[in-house]
Amino acid sequence: MPYSPEHAVQTRGRIVESARRLFNRHGFEQVTIDQIMAAAGLTRGAFYHHFQSKNELYAAAVASFITCNPFAIQTAEAAEQLRDPRRLARMLVELYLSDEVLENIDLHCPLYALPADVARAGLEPQEAYTDLIRGMGHIYRSALKGVRDASRRAETIVALCVGGMVLARTTNDPDLRKSLRASARHQALALLKAD
């Protein structure tokens, strides 16, 4: 008896989630299809029913962050209270640069967890990564609507958030980790204020 379409969607989701976690922890090159499938509780043969290549899965894993990240979860849980674009943007800056997110590798955004891997991985993962950059920028541009240089500010805020986390992730000095993120947060929040 064939599986239902819902089963196929759920299975694909398990594979993507397994891949996202493993890629975050070990990087694209270090993770095998067999490891991904074992972590998802599936056989290697099932992989090819859902994906043609590891690159295609990588793109799906990067793209999946749009719906499984801590910000998406928090805004979904508090949708009625968070209609103000400025409040949403400030919340994203605070959460993105938080201790909670830095300390939980499974919550790491591909924008700071995987940039070198994505740069080498090919067109599909780069397109998914670009969509994340644009989505994050859109949140900040919406908060800056009517501000003359809204696009430049939004891109600067994205760069501050991502760069702050990249640097914080790479140092073993806990004080520097905090101060890098605090500096990025301070500048990002200042840019969100209207002239």
pLDDT of 42: 93
Contact 109, 132 (CB under 8 A): yes
In angstroms, the CA 71 to CA 96 distance is 8
Domain coverage including residue 40: 5-53
pLDDT, residue 112, reads 85
Give a yes or no: residue 122 inside a domain: yes
Please give the model's pTM, rounded to 2 decimal places: 0.83
Return the CATH number at 16: 1.10.10.60
On whether residue 36 sits in a domain, the answer given is yes
Collapse the DSSP code of 110 into the 3-class scheme (helix H, G, I; strand E, B; otherwise coil) and give the result.
helix
The pLDDT of residue 111: 85
pLDDT tens-digit profile of 153-185? Answer: 999 999 999 999 999 999 999 999 999 999 999
Q: Which residue has the tokens 């969100």?
A: 192
Q: Distance between CA atoms of 23 and 120, rounded to whole angstroms?
A: 14
Confirm if 72 and 82 have CB atoms less than 8 A apart.
no
In this model, does residue 109 exceed pLDDT 90?
no
